[in-house]
Structure 1
Amino acid sequence: MLRLRERIVFHLLSFSSTSTSTSAPATLPLRRLLSAVAAPIPPSRGFAVEDYLVDTCGLTRAQALKASTKLSHLKSPDKPNAVLAFLSGLGLTGVDAAAVVAKDPLFLCAGVETTLVPVVNGLEGLGLLRPGIARLVSLAYINFRCRSIVSKMQYYLPLFGSFDNFFRALQRSSYLLSSDLDKVIKPNVVFLRECGLDDCDIGKLCVRVPRMLTTNPGRVRAMGAYAERLGMPRGSGMYRIALHAVSFLTEEKITAKVDYLKKTFSWSDAEVVMALSKAPMLLKRSKDILWRRFEFLVSEVGLEPAYIARRPVMLYYSLDNRLKPRCYVLKFLKENGLVDRDLSFSSALSIQEKYFMEKYIRPHNEAAPHLADDYAAACKGEVPASFRFT
């Protein structure tokens, strides 16, 4: 009977992976599933947790061995069966449920009626639908079985602007749901607002760098000071990007990157400050990548280091996918008198692909009928002979 009951739960979990219905309330399938496995359990030789984790939850033997150490107190499958039925009712597949259990074995011990159902009801009250709740379970794990998750989600939603934005941040840092809201998160938000960022700016920053919210407030304030030293005053349009650029870089690393730019690119102190004020994310790029882009622009395109310092965004662009193909086209057009020789490389590099095609490729279909094909080949890493520099 015990094995039969466990197989019923496993079958129901597998069935949920193929079901397309999402209209029923989360608690309705739960009650149906629980009633299906409600028959009393006769005396048995005991409850084998490890076997249950493998046979019913779908864990590997290695995962089950590790997880079972936290579940040694379980004497029957009653509570785990209820939790698995609950997860199935939310729409989690057997694979999804197995991932949750492997990550957080104690999830199987959560009180369905006392904890999980109230959490679901609270999240539905915030406007989160069942597919979103299922996704949150897979991202939150242990935090989902804490009723405080509802109040935290209520705080985060206006900040991030949407559940999707919040989920993107949560994928990068689960600490969003475990950090202290009053002692850590809110003080950091207050500081970022003091720096001139509105909630939209804070949301954009923290989708990419969620640790800006969960890190010790003193350290976040130090990052703000680093950003100001780069020449971006609080409240300026570039401050958010500068804050992202210096996030979680030590002062020593920032100093080392500044010294590298000065020595390798032959930039003066003023040119480094100017370059970083326009392109602070240079601090995040690897030295090797920066050097290869810089060396191409200087040695093959013929640009001066000072020119690049005034237009440092050029160093953001992919060498193979943008810099080389577009520069080959521009060089070809100049050498054949098809464009003004004073054409700005920087402007041509910065525009979107469709506008580059409209301005520099299509107008020359008659004079240079192979230009479009040569450019397409260059974008794939093939350099046609007609594009090669002499």
Structure 2
Amino acid sequence: MFASLCRRRLLLHIRKIPGGGGGTNPLQSILGTIPPARNSYSSSAVADVSNSEPCPDTVSYLISCGLSPTAAAAATTGQRLRICSTDKADAVCALLRHYGFANADIIRTLRSAPSILIVDPERILRPKLDFLASLGFEPRKIATAPFLLARSLDKHLVPSIQFIRGIIGSDDDLRLGISRIPRALMADVDKNMRPVVEALRRCGLTEAAISKLLVIRMGVLMASPDRIREIFEELKAIDMRIPDSRFVYCFSAMWGVKRGTWRRKLELFQSFGVSEGEVLEAFKKQPTIVLLADESIKRKVQFLLDELKLGITDIMLHPVILSYSLDKCILPRCAVLTVLMREGKIQRDIKLLQALLGSSKIFSTRYVLRHADDVPDVVKAYEGKIKFEGFV
């Protein structure tokens, strides 16, 4: 019922706003102008500083909302934030809860954007929350990007959604893409979004490929046309061609790393004893390996080499294994396999890499559910209650 009402309000908004609409946004003037590329407010983004000392009453209120004393002081230091009316602040928090914000979501929102507490909840916040809810935008996602609430609904949020929907088409894909990178909505339609899409077209991407890319990595809308062209050249240099179905995934990953980081990742993988060509082929198969932290890569590769006795060439031929969490996926699966080996349910010379690969559903069906009745320990091992201590 609530979602249906929100959707109707959304349609009314879109119908009455030809090309962006008018109206002012008092919240924007309170929070200041926020650069699209930033993830959270800087102290100067909220207001000009006239008194760098935080207001004790404001700090106390933030603490009562769940922030730690340190976080509350940090959120207000250097900001002209004074909560003169706790009634208004309470009304803001109540409104957020009404829209499904959990306590953790509210804490996260206030840590980044404490000035939200002094705006008019009904006149300023509710219309935007209605709009975001109509899109199926989860509260926890809004909490990661509370600066969206500083944007004008009529001049920015609605036109942005209209433009992106025109590229993607499906509301489900629209919701998925935005949920992955909510801050992409900070990009300006005419200054950022449209030039990016036009650059992608000029470089040869089809409309379907552009739509797919935005669903995968909506943040591309914040790139510059020059960076778009650079990525195309970089992918061309490694012989990744546009018609290849993997191209948009490689493009997405390449956008996510700086040039220096890209080179460092190549050198890191090569340090394990493989050629640059092998690394590039692994990247084409599993582009996200260049987005992993260096320490994560080292830890996983060393585990696979030392504990599973795999060859580095085998790992690079199946790079998807590196995208699995070591603690939450690989180790529990290894624990399950050791239990089954101990009970004689599988051979000790099983091909470990092939056994570990696959979705959770496939692994669970093949090795856990099949043996759960006669070997209950496999369930405990899969849940992490029996730790992996190495293959004997």
Pairwise TM-score range, normalised by the shorter structure = 0.5 to 0.7
Mapped partners of 1:235, 1:155: distance in 2:
25
Q: Which residue of 2 aligns with 1:222?
A: 230
Give deviations 1:92-120, integer Å, cap 9, x for gaps: 79x98x96994469966x9x7xxx79x95
Give deviations 1:313-372, integer Å, cap 9, x for gaps: 112222233223323444565687644677443332222334323323455568xx43x4
Contact 1:192 1:202 in 2 (8 A): no
Q: Secondary structure at the match of 1:233?
A: coil
Describe the shift of the 1:88–1:242 C-alpha distance in structure 2 as closer, same or farther (beyond 3 A): same
Mapped partners of 1:131, 1:277: distance in 2:
33
State the Cα distance separating 1:261 from its structure 2 match: 0.8
Q: Which residue of 2 aligns with 1:176?
A: 185
Describe the shift of the 1:269–1:102 C-alpha distance in structure 2 as closer, same or farther (beyond 3 A): closer
Q: Which residue of 2 aligns with 1:316?
A: 323
Counterparts of 1:166-315 in structure 2, within 5 Å, are 168=179, 171=182, 173=183, 176-177=185-186, 179-193=187-201, 194-196=204-206, 198-207=209-218, 210=219, 212-264=220-272, 266-315=273-322
Q: What letter is aligned with 1:360?
A: Y
Mapped partners of 2:138, 2:369: distance in 1:
46
Q: What letter is aligned with 1:189?
A: V
Q: What letter is aligned with 2:212?
A: D
Q: What letter is aligned with 1:280?
A: P
Please say if 1:373 is aligned against 2:377: yes
Describe the shift of the 1:190–1:363 C-alpha distance in structure 2 as closer, same or farther (beyond 3 A): same
Q: Which residue of 1 aligns with 2:391?
A: 389
Give deviations 1:192-222, integer Å, cap 9, x for gaps: 4533453541332234xx2x10122111322
Describe the shift of the 1:144–1:319 C-alpha distance in structure 2 as closer, same or farther (beyond 3 A): same
State the Cα distance separating 1:296 from its structure 2 match: 2.0
Unaligned runs of 5+ in 1: 1-19, 27-53, 71-76
State the Cα distance separating 1:287 from its structure 2 match: 2.3
Give deviations 1:130-169, integer Å, cap 9, x for gaps: 999xx79955233226534432221123437346446525
State the Cα distance separating 1:283 from its structure 2 match: 0.9
Q: Which residue of 2 aligns with 1:44?
A: none
Counterparts of 1:1-390 in structure 2, within 5 Å, are 102-103=114-115, 139-144=147-152, 147-158=155-166, 159=168, 161-162=171-172, 164-165=175-176, 168=179, 171=182, 173=183, 176-177=185-186, 179-193=187-201, 194-196=204-206, 198-207=209-218, 210=219, 212-264=220-272, 266-330=273-337, 333=340, 338-339=345-346, 343-364=350-371, 369-370=374-375, 372-374=376-378, 376-377=380-381, 379-380=383-384, 382-383=386-387, 388-390=390-392
Mapped partners of 1:131, 1:303: distance in 2:
42
Q: What letter is aligned with 1:156?
A: I
Mapped partners of 1:255, 1:64: distance in 2:
40
Describe the shift of the 1:145–1:339 C-alpha distance in structure 2 as closer, same or farther (beyond 3 A): closer
Contact 2:339 2:378 in 1 (8 A): no
State the Cα distance separating 1:374 from its structure 2 match: 4.5
Q: Which moved more, 1:221-230 or 1:233-242?
A: 221-230
Contact 1:245 1:280 in 2 (8 A): yes
Q: Which residue of 2 aligns with 1:47?
A: none
Give deviations 1:293-326, integer Å, cap 9, x for gaps: 2222222222112111211111222223322332
Describe the shift of the 1:307–1:87 C-alpha distance in structure 2 as closer, same or farther (beyond 3 A): closer
Contact 1:67 1:102 in 2 (8 A): no
State the Cα distance separating 1:224 from its structure 2 match: 3.2
State the Cα distance separating 1:258 from its structure 2 match: 0.7
Structure of greater relative contact order (alpha carbons < 8 Å, 6+ residues apart) = 2
RMSD across aligned C-alpha pairs, in angstroms? 5.3
Q: What letter is aligned with 1:376?
A: K
Q: What letter is aligned with 1:291?
A: K
Unaligned runs of 5+ in 2: 10-56, 64-71
